[in-house]
Amino acid sequence: MRIDLHTHTIFSDGELIPSELVRRAMDLGHDAIAITDHVDVTNVDFVVSNIVKAVELKGDYIPVIPGVEITHVPPSKIAEIARRARKLGAQWIVVHGETVTEPVMRGTNLAAAGNPDIDVLAHPGLITIEEAEAAASNDVILEISGRNGHNITNGRVAVFAREAGAKTIVNSDAHAPGNLMDEKRARTVALGAGLTEEETERAINKTPYDAIRHLI
């Protein structure tokens, strides 16, 4: 079974409305899903107010966790946006890390990893050991990404997460139907990043369940 805690819908740059995204994940055998559309200071109110409505799908579909991905926000503003998103009803906070494929401002990884109010630092690119240690200290989970481009540095993330004792998780970062991953695909991504079989099992079937147990 599987939990995906980083996905997108039409409320940012995804292709699907929430109900179709959730149904497709359910059909792949998922146990739960977080919808984490991109937000900054300009749209966080709009996005969260709409995503929280997807929780109503739970009765018929799998549990839906309303969240956000704080994206290209200056490091000094990340904590503020996270607090606002929580106040509006977001239950899962992802920060768009310093991926090597986009010009994310330097300092974003550390601002996220050093903030215990952040749940996941997504695709953190050329992460440093200091940033990985900050994530471990603040219980911020480091993402092993299934998304093309962002996944170039998965191996580095795996190495530094192991060295620092930080938790890892495998997410799809789905924007389109074909981006969603079943468990077999998620395992391929994890093992390809250099996680051991034990680390892969933990990243797919332990850490995500432990992280959201209080939410579903």
Q: Are strands 30-39 and 64-70 parallel, antiparallel or unpaired?
A: parallel
> Does position 152 have pLDDT exceeding 80, yes or no?
yes
What is the average per-residue pLDDT within 108-134? 98
User: Torsion angle, CA of 82/182/31/92, rounded to 10 degrees?
Assistant: 0
Distance (Å, whole) CA 147 – CA 157:
14
Residue 30 one-letter amino acid: H
Closest CA to 169 of 94, 115, 104, 100: 94
Q: Which residues contact 58 (CB under 8 A, 6 or more apart)?
A: 64
**178 burial via Cβ count (<10 Å: 0-12, 13-18, 19+):** exposed
Instruction: Phi first, then psi: give them for residue 78, nearest 5 degrees.
Output: -60, -45
> Does position 103 have pLDDT exceeding 90, yes or no?
yes
Tokens of 35: 């919808």
pTM, to two decimals: 0.97
Distance (Å, whole) CA 130 – CA 120:
16
Distance (Å, whole) CA 85 – CA 171:
21
What does the pLDDT look like over 10-53, one tens digit per residue? 999 999 999 999 999 999 999 999 999 999 999 999 999 999 99
> Does position 198 have pLDDT exceeding 80, yes or no?
yes
Collapse the DSSP code of 62 into the 3-class scheme (helix H, G, I; strand E, B; otherwise coil) and give the result: coil
What does the pLDDT look like over 79-92, one tens digit per residue? 999 999 999 999 99
Please report the pLDDT score of residue 216 as a whole number: 85
Please report the pLDDT score of residue 104 as a whole number: 98
> C-alpha distances in angstroms, 183 versus 22, 149, 196, 201?
16, 21, 16, 10
Please report the pLDDT score of residue 59 as a whole number: 87
How many Å separate Cα 31 from the centre of its chain? Answer: 16
Contact 48, 59 (CB under 8 A): no
Contact 6, 143 (CB under 8 A): yes
Domain 2-215: assigned CATH number: 3.20.20.140
Please report the pLDDT score of residue 58 as a whole number: 85
Tokens of 102: 């986009």
Buried b (16+ CB within 10 A) or exposed e, 89-124: ebbbbbbbbbbeeeebeeebbbbbbbbeebbbbbbb
Please state the domain extents for the chain.
2-215
- Residues 60, 179, 184, 118, CA torsion sign: negative
